[in-house]
């Protein structure tokens, strides 16, 4: 048995419907800004309970647009040290300085005390990452911090399609939310992104920047934009994936529930523990090995059994490009990420695959612990 870490979900009926609609796109001759782009934008605005959705080429594009709109150039942006590289590179590309903040291992979001330590009079915005599709139980504290310091709050919800907390969806908790449709994500268009917001001026700005900076009424170039739009082919795929998002989430959550049942008696692991009102999207399912366990060796041994197991990400400042951002005081982010063990999780994963993955992990952990 060879069990991958992830696999996109395109059941036969969905493929059939997509192919029929792709034929309509080609026959129409309208390859951008058409029916499917508008439908996908409406789907995401409705799901996130926001006023506007803007489809884009990538989620990184969405981050750049949000950062530029908020005027961060020359200032600082607070970013969790446990995040993806584009949360840092987007800040740098928009002329600001990323300031890494340690994380709380229980939430995978900001360590609130470190967040307070890192804010300065140069701070302009916050990128708040819902890592692995998990919204922090401390979300109100993060919102209050942003409001108190008058900071623009950007949700990187790339992992959090359909995640909810207290009946509030990811993407609705800040000034703007950004989602990713990258091939590995919960739902995919191959590649692409979505920006959602209640701010009509930001929506207009995003629509302008995604099409070379054109004024939406006159067509004149008024901003330094790019070809950052999503074409109709990808939007068509996205519409069909979004129609099945509730089923996708239900399947992923059921898989995580089974994993949690199977690892209940293990003494060497910690799992996230969402409250009853917190519904993660579970882009990944990480467990965290105790400090005495060599997590890298566990991941390697899982691979030797043909079962994918990876860490969430490397800490951003351990990537070669961003080593200059390394600093004392990021140890909780480092430990959480380096001790993470992400088990196979995808929409069509079978009970047999879940059981085999959990069994292999328990056996390898026992070996590493010398039991």
Q: Which residues contact 325 (CB under 8 A, 6 or more apart)?
A: 88, 98, 100, 316, 317
Does residue 264 have a pLDDT over 80? no
Domains of the chain: 12-243 (3.40.640.10), 245-369 (3.90.1150.10)
Q: What is the mean pLDDT of residues 130-153?
A: 98
d(CA 172, CA 45): 9
Asked if 333 contacts 104 with a C-beta cutoff of 8 angstroms, the reply is: no
Name, in order, each residue with C-beta under 8 angstroms of 219's C-beta and a sequence gap of 6 or more.
none
pLDDT confidence band for 263 (50 / 70 / 90): confident
Q: pLDDT exceeding 70 applies to what percent of the chain?
A: 99
371 pLDDT more than 70: no
Contacts of 310 (CB under 8 A, 6+ apart): 5, 299, 342
Q: Could you give the 3-state DSSP secondary structure of residue 8?
A: coil
At 321-341, the pLDDT tens digits run 999 999 999 999 999 999 999
Indicate whether 268 pLDDT > 90. Answer: no
Does the pLDDT of residue 92 top 90, yes or no? Answer: yes
What's the mean per-residue pLDDT of the chain? 96
Q: What is the pLDDT of residue 359?
A: 94
Question: Which residues sit opposite 80 in a β-bridge?
Answer: 101
Query: Does residue 342 surpass a pLDDT of 90?
Result: yes
The stretch 98-126 carries a mean pLDDT of 98
Residues 11-29 pLDDT 10s: 999 999 999 999 999 999 9
Is residue 260 within 8 A of residue 271, CB to CB? The reply is: yes
How confident is residue 165, by pLDDT bands cut at 50, 70 and 90? very high
DSSP label of 325: G
Q: DSSP letters along 233-300, please?
A: HHHHHHHHHHHTHHHHHHHHHHHHHHHHHHTTT-SSEEE----TTEE---SSEEEEE-TTS-HHHHHH
Q: From the CB of residue 263, how many other CB atoms can be counted at a distance below 10 Å?
A: 17
- Taking 90 as the threshold, does the pLDDT of residue 160 lie above it? yes
Q: Give the pTM.
A: 0.97
Cβ atoms < 10 Å from Cβ of 330: 23
Q: Are 156 and 89 in contact (CB under 8 A)?
A: no
Look at residue 262 and tell me whether its pLDDT is greater than 90: no
Residue 167: strand, helix, or coil:
coil
**Across 52-75, average pLDDT:** 98
């Amino acid at each position: 048995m060879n069990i991958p870490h992830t696999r996109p979900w395109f059941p036969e009926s969905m493929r059939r419907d997509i192919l029929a609609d792709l034929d309509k796109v080609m026959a129409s001759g309208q390859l951008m800004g058409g029916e499917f782009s508008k439908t996908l934008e409406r789907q995401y605005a409705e799901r996130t309970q926001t006023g506007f959705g803007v489809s884009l080429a990538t989620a990184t594009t969405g981050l750049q647009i949000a950062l530029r709109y908020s005027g961060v150039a020359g200032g600082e942006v607070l970013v969790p040290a446990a995040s993806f590289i584009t949360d840092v590179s987007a800040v740098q590309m928009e002329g600001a300085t990323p300031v890494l903040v340690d994380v709380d291992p229980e939430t995978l979001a900001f360590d609130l005390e470190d967040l307070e330590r890192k804010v300065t009079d140069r701070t302009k915005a916050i990128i708040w990452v819902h890592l692995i599709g998990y919204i922090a139980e401390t979300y109100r504290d993060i919102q209050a911090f942003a409001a108190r310091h008058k900071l623009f709050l950007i949700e990187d919800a790339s992992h959090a399609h359909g995640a909810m907390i207290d009946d509030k969806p990811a993407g609705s908790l800040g000034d703007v939310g950004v989602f990713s449709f990258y091939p590995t994500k919960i739902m995919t268009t191959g590649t692409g992104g979505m920006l959602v917001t209640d701010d009509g001026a930001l929506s207009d700005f995003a629509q302008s920047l995604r099409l070379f900076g054109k004024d939406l009424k006159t067509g004149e170039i008024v901003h330094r934009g790019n070809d950052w739009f999503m074409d109709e082919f990808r939007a068509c795929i996205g519409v069909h994936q979004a129609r099945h998002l509730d089923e996708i989430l239900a399947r992923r959550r059921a898989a995580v529930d089974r994993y949690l049942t199977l690892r209940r008696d293990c003494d060497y692991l910690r799992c996230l523990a969402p409250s009853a009102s917190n519904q993660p999207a579970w882009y990944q399912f990480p467990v965290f090995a105790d400090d005495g366990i060599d997590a890298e060796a566990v991941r390697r041994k899982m691979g030797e059994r043909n079962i994918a197991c990876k860490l969430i990400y490397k800490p951003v400042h351990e990537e070669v490009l961003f080593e200059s951002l390394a600093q004392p005081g990021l140890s909780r982010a480092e430990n959480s990420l380096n001790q993470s063990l992400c088990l196979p999780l995808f929409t069509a994963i079978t009970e047999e695959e879940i059981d085999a993955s959990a069994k292999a992990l328990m056996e390898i952990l026992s070996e590493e612990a010398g039991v």
